[in-house]
Amino acid sequence: MNTEVHTHRAWWVRASPWRLWFHGLAIYLLASPAFASLRVETLQMPAWLQRQGVTEPLAPGTGLRAGDVLRTGDDARVVLRLEEGSQVKLGENARFAIQEVAVEDDQWGLFRGLLEVMSGAFRFTTGALGALRRRDVDIRVGLTAAGIHGTDIWGRSTQQQDLVCLIEGNIEISRAGERVQMDVPLSVFIAPRDGEPQPISSVDPAQLAQWAQQTEPQEGAGTLRPDGQWTLQLAASRSIKSAQNLVTRLRDAGYAAGNFAANVNGESWQRVVIVGFVSEADAHAAGAALRSRFNLPSGWVSRLP
């Protein structure tokens, strides 16, 4: 069977099932628990979701639940939105576990969350709605627990130390039975893994700005969102098996790729794509990185009609 991979463009005009396929793939990629209290809002791949012993590439819009573990790769970013309006941002090479996430039935009920940063950098920011809600949210940063009463913190867990920086609001730090209140903006708690925590200190705004870049999605660097309108067409093959093999390689590597069938001039082709990029530049950036990493032919970028 001919397994040639090419980048023929005519199918965009002639493949009438495109809209149906796109919505079908989107539903598949975004499949998630109903009424999820925590969702993936923004994503720069590669990233993975581990759930009940199964690992899949993380996709924008995915609903998360207790027991899920997220993992990010090199240069990755993930932005999560909690039901009560807060955001959690993760940087590259991070591991993040959701121990508990729930909300009471009434509109202004208590929101509960227990989140764990096992490694890597994170930022937790309370939105305007979240500031009005009753909530009980704790974040574990390595061996350190932070009770969230404030609006904005940044932290990082490494093999050497745990760090929590209060940007605004107030938090309660708990470690090895000791509790510390932090309510001064730009104050920092640092605890070496093999020693006693350091005295609370302050951080220079310029240093905080550098830290913050470790968790911020980078413009034009391959960002995906549930409402992203740009699609990266990576390859096409006459062989279903060849296309599926490429999809498997991409998904194992943390990229939420899929394939579908298209008819071009009476011939059936399998297209390998990633959907949901927020801009043409983001799609092109991801395409360049993937072509280099997986030795792919030149693909192309299209916008959802």
The pLDDT confidence band at residue 19, using thresholds 50, 70 and 90, is: very low
Radius of gyration (C-alpha) of the chain in whole angstroms:
21
Q: How many separate domains does the chain show?
A: 2
Percent of the chain with pLDDT over 90: 60
Q: In the Cβ-directed half-sphere of 25, how many Cα atoms lie within 13 Å?
A: 20
* CATH code (residue 94): 2.60.120.1440
Final residue of a structural domain among 154, 182, 213: 213
Q: What is the pLDDT of residue 102?
A: 67
Q: What is the pLDDT of residue 113?
A: 75
Q: For residue 269, is it within any domain?
A: yes
Q: What is the pLDDT of residue 22?
A: 42
- For 14, list phi and psi in degrees, rounded to 5: -95, -20
Final residue of a structural domain among 166, 191, 213: 213
Specify whether 58 is located in the same domain as 199.
Answer: yes
Q: For residue 219, is it within any domain?
A: no
Angle at 123 between CA 205 and CA 151, to 5 degrees: 80
Specify whether 192 is located in the same domain as 52.
Answer: yes
Final residue of a structural domain among 168, 192, 213: 213
Average pLDDT, integer, range 218-246: 95
Specify whether 192 is located in the same domain as 233.
Answer: no
Q: For residue 218, is it within any domain?
A: no
Specify whether 188 is located in the same domain as 85.
Answer: yes
- pLDDT at 261 > cutoff 70: yes
pTM for this model (two decimals): 0.84
Q: For residue 221, is it within any domain?
A: no
* H or E segment to which residue 291 belongs: helix 280-294
> Which domain covers residue 188, as residue numbers?
33-213
- pLDDT at 230 > cutoff 50: yes
- pLDDT at 150 > cutoff 70: no
Q: What is the pLDDT of residue 33?
A: 44
Distance CA(29)–CA(231), nearest Å, equals 14
Q: For residue 21, is it within any domain?
A: yes
Quick: pLDDT tens for 202-228. 999 999 999 999 999 999 999 999 999
Q: For residue 193, is it within any domain?
A: yes
- pLDDT at 141 > cutoff 50: yes
Specify whether 183 is located in the same domain as 230.
Answer: no
Specify whether 186 is located in the same domain as 46.
Answer: yes
Quick: pLDDT tens for 47-74. 999 999 999 999 999 999 999 999 999 9
Cis peptide leading into residue 46 (ω within 30°): yes
Q: In the Cβ-directed half-sphere of 258, how many Cα atoms lie within 13 Å?
A: 18
Q: Which two tokens stand for residue 130?
A: 């979240």
In terms of C-beta density within 10 A (0-12 exposed, 13-18 middle, 19 or more buried), how is residue 69 classed? middle
Q: In the Cβ-directed half-sphere of 52, how many Cα atoms lie within 13 Å?
A: 2
Specify whether 144 is located in the same domain as 238.
Answer: no
- pLDDT at 37 > cutoff 90: no
* CATH code (residue 14): 3.30.70.1070
Q: What is the pLDDT of residue 103?
A: 61
Specify whether 204 is located in the same domain as 119.
Answer: yes
- pLDDT at 229 > cutoff 50: yes
Specify whether 77 is located in the same domain as 187.
Answer: yes
Q: What is the pLDDT of residue 128?
A: 52
Q: For residue 141, is it within any domain?
A: yes
Specify whether 77 is located in the same domain as 158.
Answer: yes
Q: For residue 113, is it within any domain?
A: yes
Average pLDDT, integer, range 289-299: 90
Specify whether 72 is located in the same domain as 174.
Answer: yes
- For 193, list phi and psi in degrees, rounded to 5: -65, -30
The pLDDT confidence band at residue 15, using thresholds 50, 70 and 90, is: very low
- pLDDT at 129 > cutoff 50: no
Average pLDDT, integer, range 9-15: 32
Specify whether 299 is located in the same domain as 256.
Answer: yes
Q: What is the pLDDT of residue 139?
A: 86
Q: Which amino acid is at 291?
A: R
Q: Which amino acid is at 202?
A: S
